[in-house]
Amino acid sequence: MGSSANTETTNITASPASTHKHPSTNGGDAVPNHSHAAILDRTTSESDSSKKRRTGVLPLEVGTRVMCLWRDGKYHPVKVIERRKNHNDGNNEYEYYVHYTEFNRRLDEWIKLDQLDLDSVECALDEKVEDKVTSLKMTRHQKRKIDETHVEGHEELDAASLREHEEFTKVKNIATIELGKYEIETWYFSPFPPEYNDCVKLFFCEFCLSFMKRKEQLQRHMRKCDLKHPPGDEIYRSSTLSMFEVDGKKNKVYAQNLCYLAKLFLDHKTLYYDVDLFLFYILCECDDRGCHMVGYFSKEKHSEEAYNLACILTLPPYQRKGYGKFLIAFSYELSKKEGKVGTPERPLSDLGLVSYRGYWTRILLDILKKHKGNISIKELSDMTAIKAEDILSTLQSLELIQYRKGQHVICADPKVLDRHLKAAGRGGLDVDVSKMIWTPYKEQG
């Protein structure tokens, strides 16, 4: 799988933050009669010049910045990423693929011309000149924040590789998918085979993850598909929740289809076709129709860096239900059974880091409360299978650790712990370890 561990536990319902205020009309002093005609003439000429200017900027060039009406009914700054002629509207007008500059790329979308405020158009500057001008106006702190946002999830890439990645993946190729009872809007580009380039929507079999261009194809497939759950071994069942372990080598097509599907919601650089090296853990909700995938994580069969998780995803319809935290907890329970400490593969995505920080915080603070702080980093690591470096960074971020006389000392004031626990929010669904039936890969023969 790809290199970014990414868990999605936050729904994208927030709208871009700033709003665009249109110039207000002058409703002030009364105008003397003799100047009324002159003002009308001036207004008319201004209106004409505005129309000419608006017509003059069309079609908008790639790189143009402009204000765009978003689904919240407000205007927000966007940058034009791509354009295409809309032959369906009869007048060959362009539509534009835009990036909301205050937000993650997952909100990028195709928009119609009438959503744009053409009076706010800023002509496209040369990117290098623009970067130079911007950097002169920024404080060092602002620039660091922008840089951190810019490479979000891609810290391993140099600037040239990052540009190449963004160019290749800049436009979502699939707008929506149908999976089981849900139609889901996608977030990112996924490198489906070329024959799917002209598809706006794909239809997935929710059990074997085969994908098709048309609903009728899916309906025919479903009559023949005899799977009612992911292939592989069921290693956990508690109430209506089930977890399946799928070996990428034994179930190669399923694993590759899962990668295509996941990439629509994960902004990685890479999508590995060599799935043989990975195990995939598929979390399902079960009912009388079968086991329906809600999310998954993957891990390498053999990791020299002690990674216990490569990619993680909760599908959008199942977010905010504690499934992301459940998957993280499950990955650590597997590490405990292997007798190892684990850590997620780096770099973490924005949402991935938030989810892991929340998980580490809750687990560590619960133990610190019980032991009243009388416990070492090594003991915490042995109890939780969380890598010592992750424990240290979490406690440092909470200001619960000090460096005294050459060693780290945990400061565990009960009131402070309670405050941090409250801020960390609710935990995910608990993993009932007694319901796990699992043998580590190296012992499977």
Say whether 345 is catalytic.
yes
Cα gap 241→154, rounded to integer Å: 33
Q: Where are the beta strands (DSSP E) in 311-438?
A: 311-314, 343-344, 401-404, 407-410
Q: Which two tokens stand for residue 118?
A: 């053409």
Pairing status of strand 109-111 against strand 94-100: antiparallel
Determine contact, residues 5/344, Cβ cutoff 8 Å. Answer: yes
SS3 349: coil
Q: Which long-range contacts (CB under 8 A, 24 or more apart) does 271-278 make?
A: 271/1, 271/2, 271/190, 271/191, 272/1, 272/2, 275/1, 275/248, 275/249, 276/248, 276/249, 276/252, 277/248, 277/301, 277/302, 278/1, 278/248, 278/310
Q: Are 260 and 218 in contact (CB under 8 A)?
A: no
Which residues fall within 8 angstroms of residue 170, CB to CB, at 6 or more apart? 81, 82, 97, 108, 189
CA atoms within 13 Å, Cβ hemisphere of 273: 4
Cα separation, 294 vs 289, in Å, equals: 15
Residue with tokens 């003991």, as numbered in its chain: 379
* 46: phi then psi, degrees, rounded to nearest 5: -60, -45
Marked catalytic residue, from 156, 345, 389, 443:
345
Output the six-digit token pair for 140: 């060092």
CA distance 3 to 154: 9
- Type of residue numbered 212: M
Pairing of the two strands 176-179 and 201-204? parallel
**Contact in structure between 154 and 347 (CB atoms under 8 Å):** yes
What is the Cα–Cα distance from 132 to 364, expressed in whole angstroms?
44
Closest-CA residue to 260 (of 248, 271, 252)? 271
Pairing of strands 116-122, 65-69: antiparallel
For the record, the structure tokens of 315 come out as 């599908």
Catalytically active residues, by annotation:
345
